[in-house]
Amino acid sequence: MPKRPRITLPGIPLHLIQRGNNRQACFFADEDYFWTVALTGKLTLPPLH
């Protein structure tokens, strides 16, 4: 049975996962991790209230 198409809605974030190959670490320095978190925050939309 084929997969159902993923439903996407404008302004609604999708789940984000960061994994390394073979479960290896993705970040080797704290600066890399914090830079990625800051960049991700800048790319997300504010909550709709």
Dmax of the chain from CA atoms? 44
Q: Which residue, 6, 17, 23, 24, is CA-closest to 40?
A: 17
pLDDT for the residue numbered 45: 62
Structure confidence at residue 19 as a pLDDT band (50, 70, 90): confident
Question: CA 39 to CA 26: how far, in whole Å?
Answer: 16
- Per residue in 26-45, pLDDT tens? 888 989 888 888 887 776 66
- Give this prediction's pTM: 0.46
Sequence-ordered list of residues with C-beta below 8 angstroms from that of 19, at least 6 positions apart, any chain: 26
